[in-house]
Chains A and B, each alone.
Chain A
Amino acid sequence: MEAMLYEMLPLWVSLFPIFMSVVIFAVSKRSEKMRNGLSIGTAVVTFFSVAAMYPSIAGGGVIEYTIFNILPGLGVSIRLDILSFSLAVLASFVWMLVSIYSIDYMSHEHGGDRYYPILIFTLGSCLGIFMAGDFFTLFIFFELMSLISYVLVIHEETPAALRAGYKYLIMTIIGGLALFFAIIITFELSGTVSLSAGTLITEPGTLPFLAFLSFLIGFGMKAGMFPLHVWLPDAHPVAPSPASALLSGIMLKTGAYGLLRVLFQVFNIPLIQEARWDLMLGILAVITIILGSAVAITQEDLKRRLAYSSVGQMGYVILGMALLTERALVGDVFHIFSHAIMKSTLFLAAGAIIWKTGLRNVNDLKGIGKQMPVTMGAFTVAALAMIGIPPLNGFLSKWTLSLGALEAGLPIYVVVLLISSLLNGLYYLPIIIAAFFGGEEHEHGHGHEHGHEEKEFALNVDEASYGMIIPVAILGLSCLVFGLMPGNVAFELSIKAAHFLITMGTP
């Protein structure tokens, strides 16, 4: 009985939120309170349901079964292993905090009746991606999540949002079609697309290369990899801040997750090394890192800067894959954790600031740290983690990644990581410094109009409501906790997941 219950959990965590989104939609017409309560409740229940799977997975166990077959060899199936568990627990954790944060943030916004069902539906489809037992199921949930999250992107319905949404939509279709191509080639070559069937493609050739390229386009587009990142800096900032946090923090990671599966389960390490695809991936990663960080410096809009920073950070994740060593993979998976937590902290903190002050330009944020110390404190911790200052989690992931690069005999990648850290410092530190130490000159302003405005704002603003600062503070603390203790859950999971991937990828 208990075993059965465990078997059902992966299905439950993806279908329960999808089902609840319908309920929330139905309820939202009657009571706003109930709608909000149900949304939080669903996210919390989902998180604990995911966490409950830990005992059966931690020991190396795998849950897998087929639900039904659409065509011979092609069906909807479930598979939960350590890698999918790691991402699922991360996603549901961040989602839970974001849902709580949303209640206050969205209370002033329009369209809450649409926002909450979509938010919870996206959670279900996102977890569905991680629970999928084959590429076809993964593809269904991937498309579902990408298309549904369009509604989150264009929530504001401003012309800018609609333009960004259009770009997002077209890129999503292109990515989806590329995945279709990749999956059908894999199916043609191996007769199955299951994740439990070992390495699916073992011989290099034209079709395998096309498959690799298409997978790279499909998942790389989602992960914001150069040159397919173009939708990201437009789409992430225009969404409401909690949605930006999820888009940047979690949904980008589904692309990385897909790529990990592809590299180590569709193909294997010898094949990738023989075909030199790792070099291709590495070069793309380096360009992504440098480009993302460099362009972020030039952005004046706070959320846009954060979005470009995401591009750079996803470059690290892709770099970690390209190295193909176990140590690098530990850093890679851990960076998925770190970046999800850091970036959602930053976006939520930015959201709190925007919500309170309406200011989006980084130059206007002088002195904000004194008015909103908790929010800016969390922002600072996360930003320092981004730069890679010990003992924060960003440092740990960069450290492990660098060790992996050295192990693979590619110290050049370490240099890239260092350059990128420097660039990160260049665009994060000024915000922090100005927030805590700037602004005095304006308070003693000479009465010109601009200074006057600053003065008014300095007087009026205080900390955002508890519903918003508590999630931000928890996430900010997580940055510290996951960096301070290398024996933490996230790091343990990363080690296990990396080991799992390496054993899968070595024939």
Chain B
Amino acid sequence: MSNHIPVLIIVLVLGASFSIPLVARWRKTLIFPAAVTPLAISFGLSLYLFYLVGQQGAFSYHLGEWEPPWGIELYVDYLGAYMIMVLSSISLPVLVFASRDIHHDIREEVVSWYYTLYLLLIGSMMGIALTNDLFNLFVFVEISAIAACGIISIKEDRKCIEASFKYLILSALGSGCVLLAVAMIYMITGYLNFDYVAATMTEALSLYPYNILIALSLLIVGFGVKSALFPLHVWLPDAHSSAPSPSSAVLSGLVIKIYAVALVKMLFRVFPTAIYEVVPVLDIVLFLSVLAVVFGSIFAMVQDDIKRMLAYSSIAQIGYVFMGIGLFGDRALVGGLLHIFNHAMMKAMLFLAAGMIIYATGIRRIKDLKGIGVRMPLTMAAFTIGAFAMVGIPGTSGFISKWFLALGALDLGRPFYVAIILLSSLLNGIYYFPIVVNAFFGSKIEPHPEHKDVPASMLIPILLLAAGVIFFGFFPGPLLDLLEQAISF
């Protein structure tokens, strides 16, 4: 039984996704339990998987007992187990938040579809994290692209439709790039399984260098668009800010990261590392990441809509992840990968907090948030913790990932990148702190008759994530142990 866990996690979530419309026909009240139970079980299983991989190392699972290279293979390595854990631990509180929040954003008839799309998205991302097969990867990438568009456009207002259409076009472009790259790799190696491709790649490199280079660049562009690597980020601010808040939380927290992880797998497991000494692919990624880190923050500073600001901040933060990849050193990569989890926690929490404010007061403009902390002290306290983590105040998880990234940069003798990280932290402070300050000090806000009370089912997920930000700021040990294994491809 226990060796079926990898596929069980994915099938459970995907299966639940498809059964929810049926449940909705039967009994409306059961939709939420039907959605949250499989996710909770998969969270439990992911923790077990985390433990299992820590104990016995990476292992693979052959779907339907078909041996590779013919069958689809799931490969649970350290990175995969880590990502599964990240996905399930973040998506669970967000779903709980959504169960309350979503009703004020979308029509009652489509609520059940929201759960379907949500679980579909999470399930497909779990597939991306575990699959060891190129074509299977593409399939999951497509599923998640469609599902992600779905949970944006479900709000059915003009802005959302427009944003999701923009997202759909660019995301389809990315998928096309990925498909082309997969086809090219298949053409020259004859395999789709990562390990088999990697084994023949070194030989193929001398025979078909251009094909491999084109495949590599297509992959970087494809996944770059999907993970909003600067300057391919143009779809993100609209999509993430107009979507319902729980959607924004998973989109910013998880969806853009999973493509970065897919890229890491391709770059370091499939392609031979010798190629990076010849072609400055990683330097280009590094350069773009620097631009992302700086410009993402600068764009965020001039926003006056809180969710748009958070969206731009995500562009900067994904820059850190790519910086970890581009620096091409052990500690830097650990920092980048760790930042996936840390940022997922912070940004999901910040989006949920923003969603909470919008839910309770309807305020979206940063200027109007004056005094909100007096009315919603716990929500804004969580927001404050998130802001501290964004700046990298020690004692929050944001500090740990920055510490590793900076150490990684110093290891490679590139203190310039440390300066970039610090500059971006300063910029983060400049746009996050005034919100916090205005929320708590300087003005008195009167309780507005239209303002709703803060429901516990929305507050608890936010507080849990906030506690996580603090906890992993002091005890990142288990994650780091796993990640240090994960980067030895």
Instruction: List the interface of chain A (C-beta within 8 A of B).
Output: 68-71, 74, 76, 136, 139-140, 143-144, 147, 150-151, 154, 157, 162, 165-166, 169-170, 173-174, 176-178, 180-181, 184-185, 187-188, 207, 210
In angstroms, Cα B389 to Cα A147, docked, is 13
Given the contacts A177-B426, A188-B410, A154 and B394 also touching, CB distance less than 8 Å: no
Q: Identify 24 residue pairs between A and B in the complex whose beta-carbon atoms are under 8 Å apart, listed by A's number.
A: A69-B477, A70-B476, A71-B403, A71-B477, A140-B394, A140-B395, A165-B437, A165-B441, A169-B433, A170-B430, A173-B391, A173-B433, A174-B426, A176-B391, A176-B393, A177-B422, A178-B422, A180-B406, A181-B422, A184-B403, A184-B406, A184-B407, A184-B410, A184-B418
Instruction: Return A143 CB to nearest CB of chain B, in Å.
Output: 5
Interface residues of B in 405-423 (CB under 8 A from A): 406-407, 410-411, 415, 418-419, 422
Instruction: Return A176 CB to nearest CB of chain B, in Å.
Output: 7
Contact indicator B422/A180 (Cβ below 8 Å): yes
In angstroms, Cα B9 to Cα A317, docked, is 63
The digit string for B413-447, where 1 denotes a CB below 8 A from any CB of A, is: 00100110010011001100110010001100000
In angstroms, Cα B437 to Cα A507, docked, is 47
Residues of B within 8 A of A188 (CB): 407, 410-411
Q: Is B474 in contact with chain A by the CB < 8 A criterion?
A: yes
How many chain B residues touch A (Cβ–Cβ < 8 Å)? 31
In angstroms, Cα B436 to Cα A162, docked, is 13
Q: Is B392 in contact with chain A by the CB < 8 A criterion?
A: yes
Contact indicator A136/B394 (Cβ below 8 Å): yes
Residues of B within 8 A of A210 (CB): 415
In angstroms, Cα B408 to Cα A187, docked, is 12
Residues of B within 8 A of A139 (CB): 394
Residues of A within 8 A of B184 (CB): none
In angstroms, Cα B471 to Cα A221, docked, is 30
Contact indicator B442/A157 (Cβ below 8 Å): yes
Instruction: Return A370 CB to nearest CB of chain B, in Å.
Output: 39
Given the contacts A181-B418, A184-B418, A144 and B395 also touching, CB distance less than 8 Å: yes
Sorted from nearest, which 4 A-B pairs have the closest CB atoms? A173-B429, A188-B410, A177-B422, A140-B394
Residues of B within 8 A of A68 (CB): 474
Instruction: Return B316 CB to nearest CB of chain A, in Å.
Output: 15
Q: Which residue of chain A has the shortest Cβ distance to B438 in the bound complex?
A: A162
Contact indicator A70/B415 (Cβ below 8 Å): no
Interface centre among A165, A173, A178 (most CB of B within 10 A): A173
In angstroms, Cα B418 to Cα A162, docked, is 31
For the A-B complex with A140-B395, A170-B429, A173-B433 known, give 8 more contacts whose Cβ atoms are closer than 8 Å.
A143-B394, A165-B441, A170-B430, A173-B425, A177-B425, A180-B394, A180-B425, A188-B411
Give the interface SS of chain A, mostly helix, strand, loop or mixed: helix
In angstroms, Cα B429 to Cα A169, docked, is 9
Given the contacts A162-B437, A173-B433, A180 and B476 also touching, CB distance less than 8 Å: no
* Contacting residue for A154 out of B400, B426, B441, B476, CB 8 A: B441
Contact indicator A70/B441 (Cβ below 8 Å): no
Residues of A within 8 A of B430 (CB): 170, 173
In angstroms, Cα B393 to Cα A144, docked, is 9
Q: Is B276 in contact with chain A by the CB < 8 A criterion?
A: no
Contact indicator A70/B410 (Cβ below 8 Å): no
Q: Is B475 in contact with chain A by the CB < 8 A criterion?
A: yes
Contact indicator A166/B395 (Cβ below 8 Å): no
Residues of B within 8 A of A76 (CB): 474
Q: Which residue of chain B has the shortest Cβ distance to A140 in the bound complex?
A: B394
Q: Which residue of chain A has the shortest Cβ distance to B475 in the bound complex?
A: A70
Q: Is B480 in contact with chain A by the CB < 8 A criterion?
A: yes
Instruction: Return B437 CB to nearest CB of chain A, in Å.
Output: 7
Instruction: Return A150 CB to nearest CB of chain B, in Å.
Output: 8
Instruction: Return B42 CB to nearest CB of chain A, in Å.
Output: 30
In angstroms, Cα B423 to Cα A181, docked, is 11
In angstroms, Cα B392 to Cα A139, docked, is 12
Instruction: Return A41 CB to nearest CB of chain B, in Å.
Output: 26
In angstroms, Cα B410 to Cα A144, docked, is 26
Residues of B within 8 A of A162 (CB): 437, 441-442
Residues of A within 8 A of B410 (CB): 184-185, 188, 207
Instruction: Return A117 CB to nearest CB of chain B, in Å.
Output: 14
Instruction: Return B224 CB to nearest CB of chain A, in Å.
Output: 28
Interface residues of B in 69-108 (CB under 8 A from A): none
Residues of B within 8 A of A143 (CB): 393-395
Instruction: Return B335 CB to nearest CB of chain A, in Å.
Output: 11
Instruction: Return B311 CB to nearest CB of chain A, in Å.
Output: 22
Instruction: Return A216 CB to nearest CB of chain B, in Å.
Output: 15
In angstroms, Cα B396 to Cα A144, docked, is 12
In angstroms, Cα B425 to Cα A461, docked, is 51
Contact indicator B474/A166 (Cβ below 8 Å): no
Contact indicator A70/B437 (Cβ below 8 Å): no
In angstroms, Cα B138 to Cα A18, docked, is 53
Q: Which residue of chain B has the shortest Cβ distance to A137 in the bound complex?
A: B394
The digit string for B437-465, where 1 denotes a CB below 8 A from any CB of A, is: 10001100000000000000000000000
* Contacting residue for B437 out of A74, A166, A174, CB 8 A: A166
Instruction: Return A493 CB to nearest CB of chain B, in Å.
Output: 30
Contact indicator A70/B474 (Cβ below 8 Å): yes
In angstroms, Cα B391 to Cα A54, docked, is 39
Interface residues of B in 462-489 (CB under 8 A from A): 474-477, 480
Q: Which residue of chain B has the shortest Cβ distance to A214 in the bound complex?
A: B422
Q: Which residue of chain B has the shortest Cβ distance to A151 in the bound complex?
A: B441
Instruction: Return A201 CB to nearest CB of chain B, in Å.
Output: 13
Interface residues of B in 189-246 (CB under 8 A from A): none
Residues of A within 8 A of B434 (CB): 166
In angstroms, Cα B398 to Cα A176, docked, is 14
Residues of A within 8 A of B480 (CB): 71
Instruction: Return A193 CB to nearest CB of chain B, in Å.
Output: 11
Instruction: Return A185 CB to nearest CB of chain B, in Å.
Output: 7
Interface residues of B in 154-212 (CB under 8 A from A): none
* Contacting residue for A207 out of B393, B406, B415, B437, CB 8 A: B415
Contact indicator B392/A180 (Cβ below 8 Å): yes
In angstroms, Cα B475 to Cα A68, docked, is 9
Interface centre among B394, B433, B442 (most CB of A within 10 A): B394
Instruction: Return A355 CB to nearest CB of chain B, in Å.
Output: 23
In angstroms, Cα B433 to Cα A162, docked, is 12
Instruction: Return A161 CB to nearest CB of chain B, in Å.
Output: 9
Instruction: Return A323 CB to nearest CB of chain B, in Å.
Output: 31
Residues of B within 8 A of A177 (CB): 392, 422, 425-426
In angstroms, Cα B393 to Cα A181, docked, is 13
Residues of B within 8 A of A176 (CB): 391, 393
Contact indicator B422/A169 (Cβ below 8 Å): no
* Contacting residue for A157 out of B391, B419, B441, CB 8 A: B441
In angstroms, Cα B214 to Cα A54, docked, is 71
In angstroms, Cα B475 to Cα A69, docked, is 8
Interface centre among B402, B430, B441, B480 (most CB of A within 10 A): B441
In angstroms, Cα B475 to Cα A71, docked, is 8
Residues of A within 8 A of B393 (CB): 143, 147, 176
Residues of A within 8 A of B476 (CB): 70-71
Residues of B within 8 A of A187 (CB): 407
Q: Which residue of chain B has the shortest Cβ distance to A143 in the bound complex?
A: B393
In angstroms, Cα B422 to Cα A180, docked, is 8
